[in-house]
Amino acid sequence: MSPRRRAWTGLALAAALALGACSSSGPTIFQRLGTTVRDTLTRPEAPAAPRERTREELNAIPYATIGVRPPGRGRAILIGLVQNGDYVDYRDTVNRSIRMLGGAVAATEGLFYDLQGVRYDTDDPVAHPTPLEDWPDQLYRSYQFNIREAEGFIVTVSCAYQPVARETIEIVEISFDLMRVTETCSNQRRQFTNTYWVEPDTGFI
């Protein structure tokens, strides 16, 4: 895995995984995950203390990882466990999870409102890496949430992109020369903005 694909950020970087099946006679995947987290991400004197991880620690983890910081909570580190086609599921030992499609979040659990799924069109450059010059002017997405007393809550928005500036950013001790792109999504009732750092030539986020 290249250093760029080892990088992790609160937005997300997806990576292809090759994972063996669990043996009924051996440790479960969550037992192996627990051992990996314990051995590579904690200090003996304070195993539960949240702290920033070093590049050396992250490189020692034998799985792709994503770091997230849920609103009002400490950082969580999720490890890639399952790949199904182009989707990769990242999870920790307390069942917080993110499903990624390319650079796009496709589902979440246990982080804030549970996102059940997103409808991404085939020309959506966040879900399907596309050179920046070929990004569409506008597209539509539908987000479905699992919210108590609002089963099947769906939000459909139109999204437009705006390249902002070429920037050098650091992701855990490695610097990258990227284009910062803002994505503004809205409908008649709501509006939100996402920020991506993109490799212009490949569209990798």
Asked if residues 160 and 135 have their Cβ atoms less than 8 Å apart, the reply is no
pTM: 0.70
| 178-189: pLDDT as tens digits | 999 999 999 999
Q: What is the DSSP letter of 191?
A: E
Q: What is the pLDDT of residues 73-123, one digit of tens each?
A: 777 788 888 889 999 999 988 888 999 999 999 999 988 888 999 999 999
Contact 164, 184 (CB under 8 A): no
Number of H helices, E strands in the chain: 3, 10
